[in-house]
């Protein structure tokens, strides 16, 4: 089916009380693996590219062409999401390329600059009829595309003002997780942020490595999108490393299958699967 937008996916997740997985991918086999899992589990999905992954695959235009073509063959809702855009230039390029969901990340900027540039990014998203995700606080960690390892938890009072002024459609919050295979969720903080932002869809970055119990509790507390990157990249890498022979295609198929297995498990855990 045609690509869908973030607001459509997040609104359905809110009604259903689940979280939509957002998988950061960096090659066509990973895209195929995630889509295979989504079809098998009958789950909606965000296919995401951060700046590092865009560089690897050949740019926003190449990423959009691949996802648009493969999603058209799928029978589940798929959004093409720009993750962690650090500037308006990349936002505009993604819009032109055909991305259907956007994130502006000003979380490492001073608060006033984050607020101002997020408002500018929101205007770009509105002009394109797309939803915008922003980040407040900072989810640090060690992963390609992450600008600093330092973490700053999201303050509920600041979040309340930030979402009122920027009018963003979803908010990535820092509640204890980190990019990479790490993270323990501050569930009390998730609940406070949910109240402070008046039920705005909250996004959990650094979803790889979060325990199943914490993940289910985070969704129950109001998380409506969870980003997962390291887990599927690690699964892909292990599968490739175990392959033998001179033909890369069996290795790539093994990597694709490994991604699909991890993705299906996360779809089930987040409550997004109809076939769970």
Per-residue pLDDT at 148: 45
Say how many C-beta atoms besides its own lie within 10 A of residue 247's C-beta: 9
Nearest-5° angle of CA 4, CA 10, CA 15?
Answer: 120
CB 100 within 8 A of CB 122: no
**pLDDT band at 144; cut points 50, 70, 90:** low
Q: Tell me, yes or no, if 83 is annotated catalytic.
A: yes
- The domain ranges of the chain are 6-269
CB 221 within 8 A of CB 213: no
Question: What pLDDT, in 10s, does the model give residues 54-71?
Answer: 999 999 999 999 999 999
Q: Catalytic: which of 83, 105, 169, 214?
A: 83
**pLDDT band at 137; cut points 50, 70, 90:** confident
Q: 6-269: which CATH architecture?
A: Alpha-Beta Barrel (3.20)
Contacts 24+ apart (CB under 8 A), 109-115: 111/158, 111/162, 114/162, 115/162, 115/165, 115/166
Average pLDDT for 73-87: 97
For residue 209, pLDDT beyond 80 = no
Question: What pLDDT, in 10s, does the model give residues 96-110?
Answer: 999 999 999 999 999
Per-residue pLDDT at 72: 97
Beta bridge partners of 172: 135, 203
Per-residue pLDDT at 66: 98
Average pLDDT for 148-171: 89
Q: How far apart are CA 25 and CA 148, in angstroms?
A: 20
């Amino acid at each position: 089916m045609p690509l869908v937008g973030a607001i459509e996916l997040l609104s359905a997740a809110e009604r259903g009380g689940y979280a939509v997985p957002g998988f950061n991918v960096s090659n066509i086999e990973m895209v195929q693996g995630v889509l295979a899992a989504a079809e098998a589990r009958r789950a909606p999905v965000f296919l995401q590219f951060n700046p590092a992954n865009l560089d690897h695959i050949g740019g926003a235009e190449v990423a959009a062409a691949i996802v648009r073509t493969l999603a058209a063959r799928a029978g589940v809702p798929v959004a093409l999401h720009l993750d962690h855009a650090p500037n308006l230039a990349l936002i505009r390029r993604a819009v032109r390329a055909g991305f259907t969901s956007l994130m502006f990340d000003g979380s490492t900027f001073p608060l006033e600059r984050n607020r101002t540039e997020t408002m500018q990014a929101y205007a770009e998203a509105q002009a394109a009829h797309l939803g915008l995700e922003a980040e407040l606080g900072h989810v640090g960690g060690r992963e390609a595309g992450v600008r600093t390892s330092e973490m700053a938890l999201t303050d509920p009072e600041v979040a309340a003002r930030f979402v009122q002024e920027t009018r963003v459609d979803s908010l990535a919050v820092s509640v204890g997780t980190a990019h990479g295979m790490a993270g323990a969720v501050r569930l009390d903080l998730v609940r406070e942020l949910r109240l402070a932002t008046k039920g705005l869809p909250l996004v959990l970055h650094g979803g790889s490595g979060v325990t199943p119990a914490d993940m289910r509790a985070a969704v129950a507390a109001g998380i409506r999108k969870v980003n997962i990157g390291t887990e599927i990249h690690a699964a892909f890498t292990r599968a490739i490393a175990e392959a033998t022979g001179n033909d890369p295609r069996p290795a790539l198929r093994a990597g694709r299958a490994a991604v699909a297995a991890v993705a299906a498990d996360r779809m089930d855990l987040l409550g997004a699967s109809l076939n769970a």
